[in-house]
Structure 1
Amino acid sequence: MDSKRRSTLLTIGVVIAGYAALRTVPSLLPEKLELQALDSPAGFRKYVAGETSGGFDPFVGLGTADSTEVAAQKAAALQRVSENICSALYGDLSPTPTQVPMASFSDYYCPFCRVQTKRLADMTGEMPDRITVAWHELPLLGDTSNLAAKAALAAKRQNAYVAFHERLMKSPFQATPEYLSRLASDLGVDSDKLVADMQSAAIARELEDSAALARVFAFVGTPALVIGRTVVQGQISDNLVREIIALEREEGWRDVCTAA
């Protein structure tokens, strides 16, 4: 290979590598926090970020009922979450006066979710006095995503959600009943109870409520966040997350949730 061709190939390689780095490491991208008020829900505002996976109906995989019944499920879930948006978002979290609650919506097979979830988990460990997170399952990428989401929520019934969540986010394997059974065994989870809970009405309802929240905030894919009262679609940098947290602490996110 002549030197000119080698130089050209090296240049192309550098450009490709640089582009890939910018796409996969959002902290390298210039970001400016510009927020737009939402008409609904009142008091919330949005920031639209970059990398997102998915774009399907959030109710895909929740059942095989006919369209009339699915429409009724959607309407019921939407009514439930609309009665108290903050409660639906943040569930059983009890933030201290210095903490800002965050709701994270993710799919186990969304590559951007895998990156952002790890970073958010690290961040909560670094500043537990400033942030607390509620994790929402939003399986948009097909039946495998839906199966993994149900398994994680079933594991939560055995106090093993965090362990299941971490393993599924890191695993190169697609979820299958056999894989989930082995994973349950590895983590000391009762696999028979796990399977039974995966088919329960309670877990179906939890997925329906997260899907309804996604519709309320017009999420078109994952990852997605609600930080206090700031809605974020797509993966964003740690710096921007910290900036939003600081803004929510300063401006008092509780006022919106109290009024909701």
Structure 2
Amino acid sequence: MDLPRNFTVRESGHRVHNPFTEEDLATLGRALRLAPGSRILDLACGSGELLCTWARDHGTTGTGVDISTVFLAAARERAAELGVADRVGFVHGDASGHVAGAPVDVAACVGATWIGGGVAGTVELLERSVRPGGLLLVGEPYWRREPPDLTTVEACHATARDDYFALPELLEHFGGLGWDVVEMVLADQRGWDRYVAAQWLNIRRWLDANPGDELAGELRAELTEGPARHVRYQREYLGWGVFALMRRRPPGHG
């Protein structure tokens, strides 16, 4: 059980595996005003940057779950580098079925809602781990501009326009699921560049070192076509953000 190699080649130099910059991640951590000792579960945690830097900066603790052995090795190295290995731990496993053994203060899935079959299923999965009054963190793309055609939709890694919401629709969807949106930090086009453009250098260096690898043809085509596709479509049409949610109380309970 692991990620396909093309993912780890593309993102081999990444600490954050989505369009969030390290500054965005730090902004979100400050905005949530987490108490020292707060417990976090991060599903599909990637290289663990959220858990590791928040443990360093805010005194939180937590567990990350991911299918990638490569990313988890990087997460453990990062925890040791930042001196927080005693406060965060990482589990190799399928995040889609993972529920915390005891309720946590924050349950997060930042950019991998496919683990729950979409936003609604992921919110339901996260709720199974969070304490009453705790926070969910959901990272999700949205349409920043209405896509004009199927070519644009597919270039943004979707199969249909309705695979993503527009931003107002996404916030309304959270409300329809019974959750208040209590914070959000949105990526910008610079964040997309730092995520996607950084992959090009990873791919090029890997191709130079591995010209005969079975993945070389696929990744060569990706590097040839990807930069123009990124600036023409994804950079212009697709937004991305992390949304903090709290379960709404029944009428008469605040």
TM-score (normalised: structure 1): 0.24
Higher helix share: 1
- Greater relative contact order (Cα 8 A, min sep 6): structure 1 or 2? 1
Higher strand share: 2
* Larger Rg belongs to: 1
